[in-house]
Chains A and B, each alone.
Chain A
Amino acid sequence: MKKYWKTISICFFIVVFISSYYIQKTAMASKNDRSYKIETISGNKEEIENLILQTSYQSNDLYHMLYISKDGSTNPNNQSFFRDLMAPNEPMILRKYIEEHRNFMRGKEFDPRKYFEDKSRLIYTTFLDDGRKEASNVVTLQIDALDKITNDSSSFKIDIPVKASYDWINVNDVYVGNGKINILTTNYLSANYLIKGREELHVYSIDENKKELVKDAILAELVSEERGTSSLRIFNEYNTTTQNENYYLYMVEKYSDRKEDTELEVISSQIYLYNNAKNEAEELTMPEELKPYRKSMLIHKETIYIPVYSANGLTLNRYHIEKKQWDEPLTLQYSSIANENDAPYLRIAEGKFYLVYRVSDGQWLSIVDLRTGGLIYEGKIISEDKKNQEADSSLRIEQLYTMH
């Protein structure tokens, strides 16, 4: 044994230091972990049955992601190596598709905006090479469809003529109805010595049966002279739904040239609604008093919502698109301690609105029925580690999912 002392001591050294390093590392990592829970204050607990909050918190100068649901919180980055391999971190809404239609989802980008789903079908659309095509006047659009009942999939490609070779085509949404597929895209073209750079908002309408382009509608275009002093904003949700959106709500704003140390001055601000069924856009006029809040507009089904926050709570203004009228606003009284950098999180989904705002010892979650305006659930998101005051203040709500 004595003559083996060199080898034994190297082995001993390795085992002791490397194992203690990893044991310590795991212990330290879990020390930084925080756990939160949703404590029901009033209302039916079933309201949060399918709710998942995607949040982040800051600890030791690092941001950590955390999912909070009725069962507590989980850190997606703390998964084991193998768990990570089984279920990597793709957008939550697509996870179900990967589990259920593993083969169909192969080779597809995990971007919810490119998908459409209804009871019988799952459709994926993509521009090959992201719409880039050097020295060519067509871009190729590929549409893959899965019949969820028979599990058969089909795919076709369409060459779409373009005026110029775009640098990038971004798919914003897919709408499918009446044998038609509408694809809302933003097309980017950077300037060169021949052409001016531009940003265009398109709706490509495809006839599903004939497999051909019916219409390429340009809803808005910003030419490079206006770049930086103009903006295009789409208000439809993009990463929480793959269902049909009957209307697209978007805004084109132009600003005066920015002078040093001055705020941008809005020259014009136009808000449009695009009707997917009729394939037509119309301008929306907004009451003067709501104009300052236009940037926080939300669209859900046939209604546009404009939240206005005050010290006493939230007023949710509503415009019914089909009736073309402003309905009575919904109000929710509360007193928040939030400051400007800490805006409440609001999401409208499935006939309800979900509001999360900061209170002294955590975050408050309210769920309100849109039809009746009644408060149906109230809960508090609190740190399970009561002593950790800092834990409550750094939690930020990034997204709220309603999973089925």
Chain B
Amino acid sequence: MKNYLKLVNFEVNRFFKLYLILIGLTMLSQLIGAGIISQTYMKNAKQLMAENQLSMNQYVEQYGTFSFDRFTDSEWFLLPIFFCIAMLMIYVFFIWYRDWFGKNTFIYRLFMLPTERIAIYFAKLTTIMLLVLGLIALQILLILMEKQIVNKIIPIDLQSNFSIYASSTLNMWRWLYPTSFTEFILVYALGLLFVAVIFTAILIERSYGLKGIFYAIFYGLLSLGVFFAPILLVNVYTNYFYPLEIFLMVLVTSMIVLGSAIWIANHLLKYKIRV
């Protein structure tokens, strides 16, 4: 356990600088964006009010209010999120390959550690989850700050109601922050499952060389197939299964996929991996 925690910390440390850059870029883009978009809106609004000699109420009647969506639908808000998603997706691969293709084959040293090799796998998996959830948590803080910026620039009377706690406000939001905490756990557990499958596929490729690429692709497709089997079944037999049954089927296939990913990874790390 101690070794696992050390490994997690070690992996976090390795990405930390880049992580701070990601956080910095996101904050910069979103906070500046919130300011720019509100100011542009206010400038237009003031101009229209002056030109047409409108009071604030008259302006709202004619042109409507400022919706926070205007900011959250803008590239200022969305681009850094997509950028972070892309970076983390690349890092899912990079977290392994850097150990082989880095300056010195670091993986050799990792494997020599007096600990179960699967701990390395779990540590990398945990690191990816921590990095993802860290950004998810950051976004909550950011959106509260951004709302404050908007409130400073645009009077409340000119704004539509907005709350990050109300359901179905932002499309992007609904994906990243599902309605209930249970759903949140399920969505991110699913994410974890896919990362685990990719990790195992990488280890397959690392264990069998060129042939390994095909094995890895085959394994990935098979895992996807197993995972989606209940969903396929439900589509073929429409209405046949009740929601609880569908959920349990997905749960069972997910366990199979996750279990086999870990088992295969363990086996490969112990006996097959090439350094």
Contacts and interface: CB of A to CB of B under 8 A. Distances in A.
Interface of A: 3-4, 6-7, 10-11, 13-14, 16-18, 21-22, 24-26, 28-29, 60-62, 80-82, 84-86, 88, 98, 102, 106-109
Given A6-B16, A10-B134, A14-B130, A81 B180 contact: yes
B181 A22 contact: yes
B137 A17 contact: yes
B128 to A, nearest CB: 12
A383 to B, nearest CB: 21
Interface residues of B, number: 38
Contacts of B8: 7
Interface in B22-51: none
A16 B138 CA distance: 11
Contact of B137 (A13, A29, A88): A13
Interface of B: 5, 8-9, 12-13, 16, 130-131, 133-134, 136-138, 140-141, 161, 163-168, 177, 180-184, 186, 237-244, 247
Given A7-B9, A13-B137, A22-B181, A88 B239 contact: no
26 contacts: A3-B9, A7-B8, A7-B12, A7-B130, A10-B12, A10-B130, A10-B131, A13-B134, A14-B133, A17-B137, A17-B138, A17-B141, A18-B140, A18-B184, A21-B165, A24-B165, A28-B163, A28-B166, A29-B167, A60-B161, A62-B168, A84-B243, A106-B239, A106-B240, A106-B242, A107-B237
A107 B239 contact: yes
Contacts of B240: 106-107
A81 B237 contact: no
A85 B165 contact: no
Contacts of A98: 242
A6 B241 CA distance: 46
Contacts of B138: 13, 17
A80 B180 contact: yes
A126 to B, nearest CB: 11
Contacts of A26: 181
Given A3-B9, A7-B8, A81 B177 contact: no
A102 B244 CA distance: 12
B140 A6 contact: no
